[in-house]
Structure 1
Amino acid sequence: MTVIHVDQEREVKLFRNGRNQAVRIPVEFELPGNEAIMRKEGDRLIIEPKKKSGLLEWLATIEPWDEEFPDVDDGQLPLEDVDL
């Protein structure tokens, strides 16, 4: 990933893409992937690469399990070693 220093800037043109306003991102400012997160802070637009979510982030989004797990009888476990 390319590191962009704060002092680097480019003048860009805004244009319409259907009902949306758009901006062409110069090659030296390209972001990885094909999705990004945009937020507004005052008059500034901040665009950041969308982070890939891992297992912990996904687990944080699911609803808690309300049902009780059934008891497991030791007699139901295999008596011999199983090759996986």
Structure 2
Amino acid sequence: MVPPPSQSPISEATREFGRRVVERRTELGLTQEKAAELIGVHWTYLGQVERGRRNVTLLNILKIAAGLDIDAGRLVRELPVVSVE
């Protein structure tokens, strides 16, 4: 079943970024709440990032990477290109 448009990721890039964040958080054995605390964001924000529903700023990419003890490059490397129309 396809989620309603309001629940769909913003783009394939945000979907993949979110998947990478979830993967790393899971590797560390962290709940969303604990990861959000380490990152310094609210857990609802992190949930939106993980679902691809947030267009994350560079500052927040760096905060997420630091909180999850991962190089920011690994989170963004080779993300799908977003077409500009």
What interval of TM-score do these two structures reach, taking the shorter chain for normalisation? under 0.3
Q: Tell me which of the two structures has the higher relative contact order, counting C-alpha pairs closer than 8 angstroms and 6 or more residues apart.
A: 2
The structure with the greater share of residues assigned to helix is 2
TM-score w.r.t. structure 1 length?
0.22
Question: Whose Rg is larger?
Answer: 1
TM-score w.r.t. structure 2 length?
0.22
The structure with the greater share of residues assigned to strand is 1
